[in-house]
Amino acid sequence: MNTNEDIIKTEYSEVMQKSYIDYAMSVIIARALPDVRDGLKPVQRRTLYDMHELGIKFDKPYRKSARIVGDTMGKYHPHGDSSIYDALVNMSQDFKKGMPLVDGHGNFGNIEGDGAAAMRYTEARLQKITQNCLLDDLDKDVVDFIPNFDETEKEPSVLPSKFPNLLVNGTEGIAVGMATSIPPHNLSEVIGAMKAYMKDETISTSHLMRYVQGPDFPTGGIVTNKDELLEIYRTGQGKIKVRGKVEVEKGKNGKTNVVITEIPFTMIGANITKFLQDIATLAETKKAPDVIDISNQSSKEGIRIVIELRKDANVDNFINLLYKKTKLEDTFGVNMLAIAGGRPETMGLKRILKECVEFRYEVTTRKYTNLLAKEQSKKEIQEGLIKACNVIDLIIEILRGSKDRAMAKACLIEGKTTGIKFKSKESEVMAKQLMFTEPQANAILEMRLYKLIGLELDALIAEHNETVANIFKYEDILERKDSMAQVIINELDEIKKEYGRPRRTVIDNCEEAVVEEVQIPEMEVMFIMDRFGYAKIIDIPTFERNEEAVRAEFKYICRCKNTGKICLFTNNGQLHTIKVLDLPMGKFRDKGKPIDNVSNYSSATENIVAVASQSELNLYRLIFVTKLSMMKIVDGGEFDVAKRTVAATKLLDDDEVISVVAIKEQRNIVLKTNDGYFLRFPIEEIPEKKKAAVGVRGMKLSPKDFVEEVFYTQNAVEQNYDYNGRIIALNSIKLGKRDSKGTKLRGN
C-alpha cells in the first residue's frame, strides 16, 4: 500500500446524497430544462450554433442531418447522436413548434406520430428567423462563450435571442424531481406584451393578458377555460382545457358528417390513432349507435377526420360524447419551469418577460459598447488619414528619406527625424511637429496611393462624418435607457412585421360537455365462448334455433342480460369481469372477439375454470375446490364487484382452482384423485367462508396425489362415470366424511 495515500472515512449515505444531488443538478441544468433567456435546452442551443458555424444558413443549400449531428456531437454535445437528431427533428416540426427554428428537407415525421427518416436520409438548414433573431450578433461579444466538454472549442452559454422564444415555441422536459411544460404562444402577441412591459415595468399580469390572450397551439383548437388563464399565467402553473374544432357537413343520402378539422395539441402522434379507435369502440358498444363510418382524410393541407352518422342522429349529443369520452377534449398541464440565474424556477408570464427584457438590455448594451469601440477606433484612423492627405507631400518625403518602416513610423508618431533625408530644412521642421497615434501611423504606412484621388478623399471625409454620427448615436443609446428601449422595440416591430401571423387557437369559455346517455333496452342474451377463447353474444331466438350446434361447438355458455357482466374464474384464483356491452353482438357463425382483448384475462398465464353471469351469482352460493383438496362455500354476492379483476380465493403454494360451481339441486360432492381415490360426502359438510379465506381440506391425499376431477350428485338421480373403461355409478360410491381418505377404485 502507498504510504502517501490518505484514507478518507465518510458516511455512505452522505456520499450517495451528494452524488445524487450532483447528478440531479447536472440533468436539470445541462440537459432537461431550457434557459429562460433564449428558451433553448443545451442540446438545441448547441445544434443551432453548430449549424451557424457550419454556415448552413437559410439562404444556403441544405446539408445532411448526419453531418450536423456528428459535428455537434464531436464538438459540443457528447451525449449520443439520437438525442441530437431528436432535437433537430423537434425544432423543424411545425405542428409542435409555434415558430420552427430548423428548415427540414425530407421526411421529418408527421402529426400522426410517424417518426422521421434516419438522419442519413434527411437534410436541414437554419430558418430565417433563427439566423436573424437567435444567432445574430454572436460576433459582437454580446454573450459569454464557455469551453466545450474537452476545452478544445468555445460555445455560447446562451444565444442572443431577440424575442421570448421560451413563450413562442414552448417546451417540454423531464428532469430529476421536476418537469417543465410550457405551451407555445403567438409571436405577435408575445412581442406586444414584451413592449408593454418595457414601457411600464409595474404592469400587472391581467394587463399583459390583453396582449397574450393565452396559448396559441400550432394545431389550433379551442381553449375552453378562459377565466382560469389569468391565475395560470400569474403563477406559472395550472391546467388548460383544449378542444378540437368540429364542423358539421351534409353527407350523402341525407346523412350527416361530423368533421374534425383541428385537434388538441395533446392529441399529436399516436393519440390520433387512439382517438379513431375510441370512436370505433363507442360504436361497437352501442354508446354511439349512430356512427356508420369513420375515415381519416388528413393530408399535408391539414387535419380532416370524417365521422358519418345516420340520418336522424342527434349530432350535438354525439359531439358532446366525443368531448366527454375521447381525447377530442383534453387537458394541457402547464408548469412554466426554466433556468433563471443558474437555477430552476417556476415563473409566471410577467417574470418570464422581465427576464427576457433584462437579457435584451444586457445584450444590447454589450453590442453597442462593442460597436462604439469599433467606431471610435475607426474614427481615430479616419482622422489620421484625412490629416495625412493634407500633408501628403511631407509624408511622401519622410517615406522616401527613411531607411526602414520603423524610422518612418517613429517620425510620424514622435517627430523623430534622425537619419531621414529631407529635401529642405523646412520639411524637417514640419516633420518634427507630427504627432500621429500608433494606429494612425500604421494606417498611413499601409495606405494605398489611389486613396490620394480627389473622389476617394471625399469618400473618406463622408465616411468620417458617418462614423462621428454613429458614435453620437451609440453613446446616446448607451447613456439613455429610453434610447436603448426604442432600439429594442424597433427590433421587435421588425420581427413582428416579418414573422408575425394570425392566432390559430380560439380562447373562450365553453360549457362542459353534457351527454344524454343512450338508453339501451335491457334484454336477455346468451354468452358463448369456444375453446380457443373467442366470445360473442347472440340473442335468445338464435340460441334456441341452434341450441344443439351451440352446445356442441362452444365450451362455455351462459344466459345473461345485455347490460350486465360476465364473470371468469381462473385456475390461479382470479376473477375477471367483462361488460356484456364490450362483447360483439353477432350471428351464430360469426367468429367473435378474443376474451383477452376485452378483459384482464391472459390465456398465456392462466386457464378458465368457470364462467357465469354476475346477476346469476347473486342468487347462489359457490363451491370452490382446489388441486390440493382445499374447499369452501362462498356467497355469490361477494363477487358483485366494480373492478375488472379481483382475487376470487386465497391459494396455498403450488395450488390452483380446479372447480367453481353454483349450488342449486346438488346434494353430494364426489372428489376423484389422480391415483384413483374417490370420496363422496354431503355438501353440508363444507363450511361457508369469505372469498379471502383458503378454506378447509376436503380429502386426505397421499404424497404427490392431487384432486383431478369434481362431480356433484342429486338424490334419486342416477349419474355414471366412465373410469378407464369401467362404468361407475357415482351415487353408489360409499358415503364418507369430509377430510377422509376415500375409496380406491380400479378400472377394467
Is the pLDDT assigned to residue 1 strictly greater than 70? no
Position of cell 457528447? 78
Asked whether the beta carbons of 422 and 431 are under 8 A apart, the reply is: yes
> Residue 101 and residue 80: Cα distance in Å, rounded?
21
Question: What residue has cell string 390583453?
Answer: 210
Number of Cβ within 10 Å of residue 673's Cβ equals: 22
pLDDT for the residue 28 = 65
* 622-665 per-position pLDDT tens digit: 999 999 999 999 999 999 888 889 999 999 998 999 999 999 88
Q: What is the pLDDT of residue 26?
A: 64
pLDDT-derived band of residue 24, with 50, 70 and 90 as boundaries?
low
Only one residue has cell 438522419, namely 119
Specify burial of residue 81 (Cβ count, 10 A radius: 0-12, 13-18, 19+). middle
> In terms of C-beta distances under 8 Å and separation of at least 24 residues, what long-range contacts does 467-474 make, across chains too?
467/375, 467/378, 467/379, 467/382, 468/379, 470/371, 470/375, 471/372, 471/375, 471/376, 471/379, 474/368, 474/371, 474/372, 474/375
pLDDT score for 452? 63
Model-level pTM?
0.74
Give one DSSP letter per residue of 326-367, joined into a string.
STTEEEEEEE-EEEETTEEEE--HHHHHHHHHHHHHHHHHHH
Residue type, 324: K
- The answer to whether the beta carbons of residues 321 and 281 sit under 8 Å apart is no
Neighbours of 210 (CB within 10 A): 12
How many degrees, rounded to 5, is the angle at CA 620 between CA 616 and CA 624?
105
Q: Is the dihedral of CA 674, 678, 680, 681 positive or negative?
A: negative
Q: Which of 11-15, 323-327, 359-363, 443-447 has the lowest mean pLDDT?
A: 11-15
- Cell 372477439 belongs to 593
> Cα separations (Å) of 340 from 36, 42, 166, 225?
6, 14, 12, 29
Model confidence at 466: pLDDT above 80: yes
Closest CA to 161 of 189, 137, 126: 137
Sequence-distant (6+) residues with CB within 8 A of 304 are: 259, 260, 261, 296, 297, 298
- Which pLDDT belongs to residue 518? 61
Comparing 73-77, 276-280, 503-507, 723-727, the range with the smallest average pLDDT is 723-727
- Report yes or no: 227 and 238 within 8 Å, Cβ to Cβ: no
Burial class (CB in 10 A: 0-12, 13-18, 19+), 258: buried
pLDDT at residue 451 in the model: 65
Strands 123-126 and 154-156 turn out to be unpaired
CATH 3.30.1360.40 is the classification of domain 245-327: yes
Query: Which DSSP helix (H) or strand (E) runs through 668?
Result: strand 668-673
Q: CA–CA separation, 100 vs 92, rounded Å? A: 5
pLDDT digits 0-9 by tens, 204-232: 999 999 999 999 999 999 999 999 999 99
For 231-263, write each residue's pLDDT tens digit.
Answer: 999 999 999 999 999 999 888 888 899 999 999
pLDDT band, very low/low/confident/very high, at 566 (cuts 50, 70, 90):
very high
User: pLDDT value at position 666?
Assistant: 87
Identify the pLDDT of residue 282.
Answer: 87
Task: Report the range of poorest mean pLDDT among 83-87, 204-208, 211-215, 591-595.
Answer: 591-595
Q: Are 153 and 54 a contacting pair, CB within 8 Å?
A: no
Determine how many CB atoms are found less than 10 A away from the CB of residue 148: 16
Residue 455 confidence (pLDDT) above 80: no
Residue length of the chain: 748
Helix 454-479 × helix 349-390 angle, to 10°? 150
Residues 570 and 577: their CA atoms lie apart, in Å, by: 11
State in words which class domain 524-744 has: mainly beta
Cell digits of residue 398:
519622410
Domain covering 355-498 in this structure, CATH number: 1.10.268.10
Give the fold, CATH level 3, of 18-159. Topoisomerase II; domain 5 (3.90.199)
Q: Is 450 a catalytic residue?
A: no
> How far does CA 706 lie from the centroid of its chain?
53
Active-site residue, selected from the candidate residues 20, 23, 76, 121: 121
Assign 3-state DSSP to the chain and report helix, strand, coil percentages, each to 5. 40, 25, 40
pLDDT at 427 over 60: yes
Domain locations in the chain?
18-159, 245-327, 355-498, 524-744
In the structure grid, which three cell numbers stand for residue 68, read together? 450536423
Provide the pLDDT for residue 438: 86
- Helix (DSSP H) and strand (DSSP E) numbers for the chain: 21, 35
The pLDDT value given to residue 719: 85
The helix (run of H) or strand (run of E) holding residue 626 is: strand 621-626
Give yes or no for a contact between 372 and 218, defined as CB atoms under 8 angstroms apart.
no
Residue 704: name the closest of 661, 641, 654 by CA.
654
Calpha distance 337→29 (Å, rounded): 12
Which amino acid appears at position 141 of this protein?
A: D
pLDDT tier at 175 (50, 70, 90 boundaries)?
A: confident
Give pLDDT tens digits for 365-390: 999 999 999 999 888 888 888 888 87
| Alpha carbon distance 182, 237 (integer Å) | 9
Cell representation of residue 312: 336522424
The whole-angstrom separation of Cα 705 and Cα 620 is 31
